[in-house]
Amino acid sequence: MSFAAVTGRAVRWGVMGTGTIAHDFVKVLQALPNCEVAAVGSRSDEGAARFGDAHNISGRHGSYESLARDDSLDIVYVATPSMRHVDDSLLCLEAGRHVLCEKAMAPSLQEAKKVVDKAVAEDRFFLHGVWSRFFPAMAEIRKTLRSGIIGDVYAAHASFGQNDGAGQASATLETGIYCAQFLQWAFDGDAPESVEGVSYSLADSGLDQHVGALLRFPGDRIGTFECSLRHPTPRGATICGSKGVLQVPFPFWCPTQFSVQTMTGLGSQDWSEPQTYTFDLPAVEGPFNFVNSEGLLYEAQAVNDCLAQGKAQCDQFDHRENLAVMGVLSEIRGRWGGS
Ligand SMILES: NC(=O)C1=CN([C@@H]2O[C@H](COP(=O)(O)OP(=O)(O)OC[C@H]3O[C@@H](n4cnc5c(N)ncnc54)[C@H](OP(=O)(O)O)[C@@H]3O)[C@@H](O)[C@H]2O)C=CC1
Ligand SMILES: O=C1OC[C@@H](O)[C@H](O)[C@H]1O
């Protein structure tokens, strides 16, 4: 049942921050039934007015505090830069709002726990906005793995490098997070037993710009990833089983396609033609700043559904899985004292 069917009104969203992803997310919210972008919050009146005019949003707040305190809102989408996410999420939760916070929600496991604990204590919904989890292709990947077509899954790899942002943000937190959550998905939600190896390069600012990580999962399974803000990589992911391989091409973190190839015989010399599965993106009018941003709609719809059902977390990325991913990132960043 939709939120409107339960409450008789639309979900009222507030948007905190007026940058590139806020633009894309507002477009999908405005394409959904039974929800309304009721207010925007900026650090300045001018910022709120500019974004409000551009997106036809009537509620405007010239400070984040004022947005958080707006009791007419059900939920706030925190779309500020990553280093603000803990404080901005806490501000909203303390004011009684539900929260969807953009990635990365925190720089460490300890800080992530503070936010999740606060959400639980305040009985508020909280989601770390790892939007990958809501794509139909991800659900189909899970189904395909469980069908056994590629046999027992022993390895997974993900790579996300782009040549933008080095020195200004942490590669582990900006792009590595998508890799770490993908490995968890490939291994059916399991957390790694250990981070066995980390190789890294730091920018002059002290922030990690390129990281390679080797993770050991229970049952002798191995996950690897590479993330970078210094150079591009293929930005695909691979899952390997005893009978074959599942590949997710660029952009694996917001996928609309994957393929499966099986192998048998002496020296694996018999293989099937790859079977490709494709998924349409929802029809949402752009333009968008980021690839496949139309797919933010899946995440937004899931949040609306959770609010309608009175759920405090999303099954696709619940607090347990979120904190496990944050634990991996935290441990990796701990290797150079990143905080
Ligand atoms: N899910 C996804 O696909 C994507 C997620 N992201 C994530 O979203 C978050 C925001 O990214 P993005 O929209 O690209 O960032 P932008 O820099 O484009 O926008 C951030 C906004 O936050 C506000 N802000 C508050 N403090 C600062 C500050 N010190 N410096 C700059 N802006 C500030 C500004 O709004 P105002 O001035 O109105 O207060 C600004 O417009 C990041 O955490 C990023 O990782 C980013 C891209 C894609
Ligand atoms: O979250 C993101 O951050 C980096 C972008 O390049 C990417 O497309 C986006 O999804």
**pLDDT tens per residue, range 205-254:** 999 999 999 999 999 999 999 999 999 999 999 999 999 999 999 999 99
Euclidean distance between CA atoms 129 and 102, whole angstroms: 5
Among 15, 16, 20, 329, name the best residue to mutate to test ligand 1's pocket (greatest count of ligand atoms within 8 A of Cβ).
Answer: 20
Res 5: pLDDT: 84
pLDDT in tens, 273-299: 999 999 999 999 999 999 999 999 999
Inform me whether the pLDDT recorded for 17 exceeds 90. yes
Residue 240, Ramachandran bin (φ over 0: left; ψ between -120 and 50: alpha; else beta): beta
State the closest ligand 2 atom to the C-alpha of 290, by its place in the atom list counted from 1.
Answer: 8
Euclidean distance between CA atoms 318 and 122, whole angstroms: 17
pLDDT band, residue 13 (cuts 50/70/90): very high
181 within 8 A of 158, measured Cβ to Cβ: no
- ipTM for the complex? 0.99
Ligand 2 environment, Cβ below 6 A: 162, 174, 253, 290-291
pTM for this predicted structure: 0.98
The DSSP-derived string for 250-302 is SSTTS-SEEEEEEEESGGG-EEPPPEEEE-PPP------SSTTGGGHHHHHHH
17 CA distance to ligand 1 centroid (A)? 6
Average pLDDT over residues 90-94: 99
Instruction: Write down the mean pLDDT value for the chain.
Output: 97
Return the C-alpha torsion angle 169, 215, 106, 172, nearest 10. 10
Both structure tokens of 269: 């010399």
pLDDT in tens, 126-172: 999 999 999 999 999 999 999 999 999 999 999 999 999 999 999 99
Domains of the chain plus CATH, in order, are 3-129 (3.40.50.720), 133-278+322-334 (3.30.360.10)
Helices (H), the chain: 3-7, 20-29, 45-55, 64-68, 85-94, 109-121, 136-147, 171, 177-186, 296-309, 319-334
